[in-house]
Amino acid sequence: MARRAIKREHKEISPSGSPASMSAPAPASVPSNTMGPPSRKRAREEFPDAQSIAASFIRSHAPSAETRPRGNEEDQEPMLLEMRARQGGSMIGSPQSSQNVDTSFTHQSFAHPTFTDIGVKLREFNNTIGNLQQLGVSHVAELPELVLVGDQSAGKSSLMSGLARVDLPRSAGVGTRCPLHIRLINSSNAHWSCTVALQLDYDFEPKGKIKKSDVTATNQFPPWVKKSHRDIKIFKTIFDPSEIEEVLRWAQVAILNPNNDHELYIPGDGAVAKGKDLADATRSAAAQFSPNIISLEIKGPELPGLSFYDLPGVFLSPDQEEDEYIVKVVRNLTRHYIKREHAIIMWALPMNADPENSISLGIIREAKAAQRTIGIMTKADKLAPENEAQWLAMFRDEKQSVGHGFFATSRPPGESLENVGKWEELFFTHEVGSWPAEFDEFKERCGVDLLGEYISVQLGDAFAQSLPSIKGKVYGRLKEIERQLADLPGIPTNVEHEVKKSLYQFLGRMKTAIKDSEFSSEWNLLNNQFRDIILKIKPTCIVKDPDAQTIDLSDGDTEVSAVTPSRRPRPSDSTMRPTPSKRPRQDNEAPATPVKQESFSTSGLFRASPAISTGAAEANGPFARFRNLGRLTVNIRDIRMQVRKKQRPGMPRDLVPDEVRETMCLDAVRKWQGPLETYIDKTAELLETVTNQALEESLGVLRRRLIFKECQTYLKQFIDQIVSDQRARLSEMYNSETYQIYIMNEDAFTRYKKQELDQLRRARAIFRLKAVALIEWGYEIKRLEDMSEDERNKEHRILTQQLPKIGIDPFETEIEVAAFVRGYYNTAATRFVEGVTMNVNSNLFRIMGSSDLDIFMDQQLGLFGQAGQSPFSYLKNLRTFAKKRALIASNVYIHLMEEDEKTANLRQQLRGEMDKLSQAMSSINSLENSPASGSSSETIFPAPVIDLDDNLDDSLDEDI
């Protein structure tokens, strides 16, 4: 099929460089439209000569051969301008018909170097626009931009796919909840790639359910609030066009969940993307809409140098009533982009709908943007015959007039991108479908390819016109930032030296702080308190005879509780020998009388440290609330019941099952959990106290600087982390003790058990003798170590003489079990306390004195830049890497020396903006100095190169 010739409009340039007014009037029947290419009923401009085209791209919108698919040039037909027949030796409507025109130019191919240079320059201009848009410098200078708007179901998705030359998602829910920015880059690399990123200009600040009335002129996109700067987060780079729909869908979910890490939603990598259905993730998003942007940077061969925004389609009513506010939000967003004075609006309207009902057209007219608008008639294959006149009138600029006129496109769904393009070309040439022949006069405006070429030229043209102004404003803002930075509070001259010196003092002091005698003394006191409470909560034993009185034996005292007879024994009764005819009264023979309390001393047991175990120190210590955990927890009557439950039939009564002993032992040690948690907490408090003191000593003079606050914060984080790890280790030790009884030091266990058995037997003997009045009722029970030798000898004689008279103790087996439990408790407690304190010393304190703190602080403060730098990239560009690393470190040092958070944030914001504007200036300078600008006296795109400051780059480097 013969290639269709391409028509182009041309503008004359006034001496100042702005387009001059067309000299040829339009026919009276057709309104004049100087901003768009004329229809066949409009006057045509005469093509300028080759020299004028070489002098300025603005004088010709002819495309380069670079804008078309390139193959073997020998096999291609030349692309010729379609010329109108001359009348009287000049072109129809030529404003310069009297001038000499080089007619040979009309026979030149678009592969001519002049046109090739124009195409190269066009791509460079549009690529530069894309760079500036991604950097987010529109707050400094408004950029020319293409904005695609339209009502819902206007065919924008199909149109985008055609312009981007990639199958973009067309189904509902994709691109309808946030704007898209699509940037197309013609790359010499044969490989196609697409980088999807999130451009975050707004913060998400929800304040309850949003109502329609919440959307106002000052709050256009609730609950989103404008940020002071743009954050860019790379989402994913793909190399297969078939993946683009899934990646775009997940990118939209990520942008609608701004409080979550965007990496959670990356297909194939993110935890949410791998574990949750996409539809469910979309429905459960935190936000229903976002003004933040998803950007697509698509690189590949034969792509047009083009970038444009696609906005969600405007609509009248949502699916659910609670989303009514979104109708206003979407309109506000559309209005926000349309009102930008340098925006070229691409208005999509389907030919199967009434254009009079277009909501988007109303917004365009309201913003007085009709002269900046390109009308794009989509779904041309669905045009109804009865509506042909209406759409012809629009083509002829008789209805719904827009400055750039109208284009028509047809992209049937369900076909591959390649097939759709071929089908569209056949459709508009009447080889398929039913495109009316009445529209043939506008065939140069039919098809996505021609539309893409046109808007690419328009964008480059607009950028060429505004480039001097953009550069001047960017430069002016850079200078303003320099002044603002200079006005901020002073930073030490050698900031790096000050930071490193301060950190060296701080980290050095940390390593010695835990070895100080004051800290060691405090921690030793805590260890003693922990040891004493563990020993103190050893289970006390109730040795009460079920039919008589109770003796409660503990380490420090023994409570002897008795249900006494109806009369108290006379003093002489204590010497009376019981006879069969006169026995002591039983509990049920008389009402109870008040319990008599007697103290009792023990021997051979661990005793609490006198400094902390008595008086106020013990009562008010950190473990005071645990003092009674072991009180009255062992009862000889309960022991007998457990033994009987566990004994097998026929087992001797004095044979105790091992399960009884183990259960009682483990129940006793399980009470360590509370004291252990308290010990860990108090150790952490002690560690924080001593480290904060060291921080004050080393960085106290910088207390108003951020280095002090950040070191304090990160030190707390470090201590929390290592204490958490230590807590886990001690928890394992506790779990080991409560898993099963375990004895390796049998000598110690045997010794402890014997001591406990002696104590319990002594208490039990005194109880029994008092019960039968063989010992005075008022006999005072003392600790053996508190008794004189005469007192001990006297008690020993009484017990030796009197016990044989009352026979064998019926609870001897239970007393032996109680002694076993208490003996095991002492053995395990000694082991546990020793292990816990040693573990803290050898792990927690060792880490504090190691280089772990240094490494952690380096990472948190960011002194060495970002981790994970590839050694290959480092070797590949050592100088660049070194500069970037030095820049990062320099910024961190300055940040740490800020006086307050507000100043630090302002400085960081200004420096971030300076970095972006510096990149923008570099991009502009690269454009101006590119080879396509030419070194001859006549250049293409003659936007003046402004030499604002020869030392601009140097001054920026100095500021950084």
- Does residue 839 belong to any structural domain of this protein? yes
Q: In this model, does residue 582 exceed pLDDT 80?
A: no
Which region among 365-374, 459-468, 886-895 has the lowest average model confidence (pLDDT)?
886-895
Separation between Cα atoms, residue 251 and residue 203, nearest integer Å? 17
Res. 11 pLDDT band, cuts 50 70 90? very low
Share of the chain above pLDDT 90, in %: 33
Domain residue limits at 573 = 517-613+627-848
Both tokens of 394, joined, read 């629009």
Q: In this model, does residue 178 exceed pLDDT 80?
A: yes
Res. 4 pLDDT band, cuts 50 70 90? very low
Which region among 94-98, 694-698, 800-804 has the lowest average model confidence (pLDDT)?
94-98
- Does residue 585 belong to any structural domain of this protein? yes
**Peptide linkage before 571 cis (omega within 30 of 0):** no
Q: Which of 107, 115, 109 is nearest to 73 (CA)?
A: 109
**Cβ contacts of 921 within 8 Å, gap of 6 or more:** 471, 474, 475, 478, 952
**Higher per-residue pLDDT: 941 or 753:** 753
Q: Is the dihedral of CA 56, 59, 61, 62 positive or negative?
A: negative
- Does residue 600 belong to any structural domain of this protein? yes
Separation between Cα atoms, residue 928 and residue 911, nearest integer Å? 25
Average pLDDT over residues 570-576: 36
- Cα–Cα distance list, 84 to 7, 47, 94, 154, 578 (Å): 10, 11, 11, 35, 145
pLDDT tens digits, one per residue of 244-275? 989 999 999 999 999 999 999 999 999 999 99
Q: Which amino acid, residue 36? A: G
**Higher per-residue pLDDT: 533 or 38:** 533
**What pLDDT is stored for residue 489 in this prediction?**
60
Average pLDDT over residues 784-795: 89
Q: Which of 467, 477, 465 is nearest to 945 (CA)?
A: 467
Q: Is 151 helix (H, G, I), strand (E, B) or coil?
A: strand
CA torsion 720-726-729-730 (nearest 10°) is -110
**What pLDDT is stored for residue 22 in this prediction?**
36
**Higher per-residue pLDDT: 934 or 520:** 520
- Does residue 539 belong to any structural domain of this protein? yes
What are residue 134's phi and psi, to 5 degrees? Answer: -65, -35
**What pLDDT is stored for residue 730 in this prediction?**
95
Yes or no: say if 938 and 55 are a contact pair by the CB < 8 Å rule.
yes
**What pLDDT is stored for residue 113 in this prediction?**
38
Q: In this model, does residue 116 exceed pLDDT 50?
A: no
pLDDT tens digits, one per residue of 348-374? 999 999 988 899 999 999 999 999 999
Give the mean pLDDT of the chain. Answer: 74
**What pLDDT is stored for residue 920 in this prediction?**
81
Res. 763 pLDDT band, cuts 50 70 90? confident
Q: In this model, does residue 693 exceed pLDDT 60?
A: yes
**What pLDDT is stored for residue 251 in this prediction?**
95
Which region among 11-25, 342-356, 889-903, 922-936 has the lowest average model confidence (pLDDT)?
11-25
What are residue 445's phi and psi, to 5 degrees? Answer: -120, 25
Q: In this model, does residue 63 exceed pLDDT 70?
A: no
**Higher per-residue pLDDT: 23 or 622:** 622
Question: Which secondary-structure segment (H or E) carries 481?
Answer: helix 448-487
Which region among 101-115, 297-311, 476-490, 859-873 has the lowest average model confidence (pLDDT)?
101-115
- Which segment, 326-335, 609-618, 619-628, 709-718, is predicted with the most confidence on average? 326-335
Separation between Cα atoms, residue 848 and residue 866, nearest integer Å? 25
- Cα–Cα distance list, 290 to 200, 201, 215, 280, 317 (Å): 10, 10, 14, 18, 18
pLDDT tens digits, one per residue of 276-305? 999 999 989 999 899 999 999 898 887 877
Res. 492 pLDDT band, cuts 50 70 90? low
Separation between Cα atoms, residue 345 and residue 127, nearest integer Å? 19
Average pLDDT over residues 131-145: 74
Average pLDDT over residues 489-501: 68
Give the global pTM. Answer: 0.50
Separation between Cα atoms, residue 401 and residue 34, nearest integer Å? 12
**What pLDDT is stored for residue 56 in this prediction?**
36
Q: In this model, does residue 119 exceed pLDDT 60?
A: no
- Which segment, 71-75, 660-664, 768-772, 883-887, is predicted with the most confidence on average? 660-664
pLDDT tens digits, one per residue of 917-941? 888 888 788 877 766 544 333 333 3
- How is 657-683 classified by DSSP, letter by letter? -HHHHHHHHHHHHGGGHHHHHHHHHHH
Average pLDDT over residues 432-452: 92
Res. 547 pLDDT band, cuts 50 70 90? low
Which region among 373-387, 660-674, 740-754, 870-884 has the lowest average model confidence (pLDDT)?
870-884
**What pLDDT is stored for residue 494 in this prediction?**
64
pLDDT tens digits, one per residue of 666-678? 999 999 999 999 9
In angstroms, how far is the first alpha carbon of the chain from the final one?
A: 59
- How is 781-828 classified by DSSP, letter by letter? P--GGGS-HHHHHHHHHHHHHHHHHH-S-TTHHHHHHHHHHHHHHHHH
Res. 493 pLDDT band, cuts 50 70 90? low
Average pLDDT over residues 394-418: 88
Which region among 35-39, 97-101, 902-906 has the lowest average model confidence (pLDDT)?
97-101
Both tokens of 282, joined, read 């979309």
**What pLDDT is stored for residue 122 in this prediction?**
63
Tokens 């312009």 -> residue = 163
- Does residue 54 belong to any structural domain of this protein? no
Yes or no: say if 388 and 418 are a contact pair by the CB < 8 Å rule.
no
Q: In this model, does residue 858 exceed pLDDT 70?
A: yes
Q: Where are the beta strands (DSSP E) in 367-436?
A: 373-378, 406-408
Q: Which of 562, 566, 561 is nearest to 589 (CA)?
A: 566
Separation between Cα atoms, residue 255 and residue 258, nearest integer Å? 6
Res. 207 pLDDT band, cuts 50 70 90? confident
Q: Is 868 helix (H, G, I), strand (E, B) or coil?
A: coil
**Higher per-residue pLDDT: 623 or 76:** 623
Chain centre distance of CA 528: 45
Separation between Cα atoms, residue 898 and residue 320, nearest integer Å? 50
Share of the chain above pLDDT 70, in %: 70
Strand order in the sheet with 634-635: 558-561, 550-553, 541-542, 634-635
- Does residue 120 belong to any structural domain of this protein? no
Question: Which secondary-structure segment (H or E) carries 119?
Answer: helix 113-135
Q: In this model, does residue 761 exceed pLDDT 60?
A: yes
- Does residue 130 belong to any structural domain of this protein? no
Tokens 């600040």 -> residue = 205
Q: In this model, does residue 139 exceed pLDDT 60?
A: yes
Average pLDDT over residues 470-493: 78
Q: In this model, does residue 913 exceed pLDDT 50?
A: yes
Q: Is 225 helix (H, G, I), strand (E, B) or coil?
A: strand
Q: In this model, does residue 91 exceed pLDDT 70?
A: no
**Higher per-residue pLDDT: 684 or 319:** 684
**What pLDDT is stored for residue 43 in this prediction?**
35
For 114-131, give one letter per residue: b (16+ CB within 10 A) or e: bbebbbbbbbbbbbbbbb
Q: In this model, does residue 802 exceed pLDDT 80?
A: yes
Yes or no: say if 679 and 526 are a contact pair by the CB < 8 Å rule.
yes
Q: In this model, does residue 106 exceed pLDDT 70?
A: no
For the beta carbon of residue 480, count every other beta carbon within 10 angstroms.
13
Q: How many domains, the chain?
A: 1
**What pLDDT is stored for residue 103 in this prediction?**
33
Yes or no: say if 887 and 550 are a contact pair by the CB < 8 Å rule.
no
**Cβ contacts of 617 within 8 Å, gap of 6 or more:** 611
- Does residue 666 belong to any structural domain of this protein? yes
Q: Which of 197, 203, 176, 152 is nearest to 288 (CA)?
A: 176
**What pLDDT is stored for residue 92 in this prediction?**
32
Average pLDDT over residues 677-695: 91
